[in-house]
Amino acid sequence: MMVFYEERLLTLIEQGPYSPLTKKAYRSDVRHLCRNVTRIDVPSMQRYGTLLRTSYASTTVARRLHALSTLFDQLVTERALAHNPLAQTKRHPPIARRRSRFSYDEVRSVLERITDETIYAFCFLLLHTGLRFAEAHALRLTDVDWDTKQLFVRHGKGGRMRHLPLHDELHRVLLRYLETTCVSSQELFSTETGRRFPAERIRSTLREASLTQLGRILRPHDLRVTFATTLYHEHETDVLTIMRLLGHRDVRTTQHYILPSSDIDRASVNRLKPTTY
């Protein structure tokens, strides 16, 4: 039975109006489900939810169950399922994880420890554009307009495309990278054989450099948060502009990327004055 559901769900994903990145995530969700359950019913989904919560962060669990519920609704519509079992399964709200804050200067000090030209350029781009890792990883040479200093994000989350301005220093870093590295494919970040540069190699190099420099682990997503936080606190960029740059649909999502500043909090409190009567 699960073989039928797996094939049908994968077909729905391919036929659906999803971006390539979303399709990839949904396929992974379906295959993981079909490896771990034998039926699509309420008890099975309850056990599967428990399994997910023991292995993944709460936000990942919520995303995966939401994706599966969306696909199950389509099975109900075509009468392959009598009802959506996830609609009757209690969802645990994701637990908000406090983000580690890294200042722009701290991140720059970590990047200066990276000697691999491709990884350095990739991380420098994340810090100065706020791109998601997958968005940057999917960039092609033709997505960069060197004359107007603009970057075309072709594979944004949810299939949303956008143009971003290229920071002047980032423009120079990318040009230097292309001049000193043999790029043998249309991928912006590729190996000498023309394959897309390994994602895990980027993550591990950044992790090792940050542990050496700061004694803390810096992840690619932290560069996106530093980008948003720095624009807001240090350059007084309005939150709607940051929302557009990050590719968010809802400003409430963007607010989670702007981390609090203890210096600003302290300055605000120090403005309090005694009231005179």
Q: Residue 196 forms beta bridges with which residues?
A: 190
Q: Which of 59-63, 211-215, 267-271 has the lowest mean pLDDT?
A: 267-271
Tokens representing 91 are 């969802």
Q: What is the pLDDT of residues 219-244, one digit of tens each?
A: 999 999 999 999 999 999 999 999 99
Name which of 178, 172, 125 is nearest 153 in CA terms. Answer: 125
Buried b (16+ CB within 10 A) or exposed e, 102-139: bebebbeebbeebeeebbbbbbbbbbbbbbbbbbbbbb
The span from the CA of 156 to the CA of 225, in Å, is 17
The span from the CA of 201 to the CA of 89, in Å, is 39
Q: At 210, which amino acid appears?
A: S
Phi, psi dihedral angles at 183 (to 5 degrees): -90, 110
The answer to whether residue 91 scores a pLDDT higher than 90 is no
Confidence of residue 276 (pLDDT cuts 50, 70, 90): low
Q: Which of 35-49, 78-92, 262-276 has the lowest mean pLDDT?
A: 262-276
pTM greater than the 0.75 cutoff: no
Name which of 209, 230, 103, 128 is nearest 136 in CA terms. Answer: 128
Confidence of residue 92 (pLDDT cuts 50, 70, 90): low
The span from the CA of 239 to the CA of 57, in Å, is 27
Q: What is the pLDDT of residues 41-70, one digit of tens each?
A: 999 999 999 999 888 877 788 899 999 999
The pLDDT, as a whole number, for residue 226 is 96
The answer to whether residue 119 scores a pLDDT higher than 70 is yes
Tokens representing 66 are 């939401």
What dihedral angle (degrees, nearest 10) is formed by the CA atoms of 272, 103, 164, 113?
170
Buried b (16+ CB within 10 A) or exposed e, 150-184: ebebebbbeeeeeebebbeebbebbeebbeeeebe
The answer to whether residue 277 scores a pLDDT higher than 80 is no
Phi, psi dihedral angles at 144 (to 5 degrees): -105, 125
Give 68: exposed, middle or buried? Use CB within 10 Å, 0-12, 13-18, 19+: buried
What dihedral angle (degrees, nearest 10) is formed by the CA atoms of 23, 25, 27, 30?
-130
**What length is written for the chain?**
277
Tell me the CATH architecture of domain 2-88.
Orthogonal Bundle (1.10)
Sequence-distant (6+) residues with CB within 8 A of 236 are none
Domain spans of the chain? 2-88, 104-260
Q: Which of 21-25, 76-80, 87-91 has the lowest mean pLDDT?
A: 87-91
Which homologous superfamily does the CATH classification assign to the domain defined by 104-260? Intergrase catalytic core (1.10.443.10)
The span from the CA of 8 to the CA of 11, in Å, is 5
Q: What is the pLDDT of residues 128-171, one digit of tens each?
A: 999 999 999 999 999 999 999 999 998 888 778 999 999 999 99
Helix axis angle for 117-129 and 199-214, nearest 10°, is 80
Confidence of residue 275 (pLDDT cuts 50, 70, 90): low
The pLDDT, as a whole number, for residue 158 is 76
The span from the CA of 241 to the CA of 247, in Å, is 10
